[in-house]
């Protein structure tokens, strides 16, 4: 059975599903077998897509107008199509980039294999850039990770202030420009250093 999926990014009426629906029906998908979403492709919780994937059975073929209607990234597409293949479900793309993909044919599986290799290559490039960036930062004396909310002088101020029982935590936080939960990451209620405070003063 052919199962269709269509998606537009905006739900305000400025975009229509009609073009995709017509193309899917023209490709042999019955209208009642078309699932759709009015949502960004970046969203994971697309109810139409989830219902579509749930409805697919072994031997079915998922038909989409364009490849970008299905996934939010190349890596996500490869993961989704691989999952479909494991379930014995095919994928057919009607137009745009990836239109040569039809995993029910040998040529289509070859095309998808190229996409999968590109996704793996993309992931490896991102990983290499991240590692190189962290190494470059360390060479300049910086460490990766979240920036500290308090400076060394502010941590010392917080230590002294919290050691004084008359200190108003709300006033101190206002002075430092942080919330109480952030302050307590650096010092305890008695002014003793906590992990974040020790890391700031030791940097």
Q: Which residues are catalytic?
A: 9
Token pair belonging to 188: 């305890």
Distances (CA, A) of 104 to 20, 99, 115, 123: 21, 13, 16, 27
**3-state SS class at 49:** helix
Q: Is the CB of residue 84 less than 8 Å from the CB of residue 116? A: no
CA distance 16 to 38: 9
Residues contacting 195, CB < 8 A, separation 6+ = 185
Count of H-run helices and E-run strands, the chain: 8, 4
Alpha-carbon span 158 to 194, nearest angstrom? 11
């Amino acid at each position: 059975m052919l199962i269709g999926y269509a998606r537009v990014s905006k739900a305000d009426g400025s975009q229509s599903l009609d073009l995709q629906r017509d193309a899917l029906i023209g490709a042999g998908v019955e209208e009642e077998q078309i699932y759709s979403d009015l949502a960004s492709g970046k969203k994971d919780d697309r109810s139409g897509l989830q219902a579509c994937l749930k409805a697919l059975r072994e031997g079915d073929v998922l038909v989409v107008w364009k490849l970008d209607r299905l996934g939010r990234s190349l890596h996500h597409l490869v993961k989704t199509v691989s999952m479909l293949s494991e379930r014995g479900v095919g994928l057919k793309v009607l137009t745009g980039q990836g239109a040569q993909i039809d995993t029910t044919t040998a040529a289509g599986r070859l095309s998808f294999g190229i996409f999968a290799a590109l996704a793996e290559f993309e992931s490896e490039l991102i990983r290499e850039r991240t590692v190189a960036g962290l190494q470059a930062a360390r060479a300049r004396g910086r460490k990766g990770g979240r920036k500290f909310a308090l400076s060394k002088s502010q941590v010392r101020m917080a230590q002294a202030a919290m050691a004084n029982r008359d200190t108003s935590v709300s006033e101190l936080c206002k002075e430092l420009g942080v919330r109480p939960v952030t302050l307590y990451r650096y010092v305890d209620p008695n002014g003793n250093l906590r992990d974040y405070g020790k890391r700031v003063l030791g940097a």
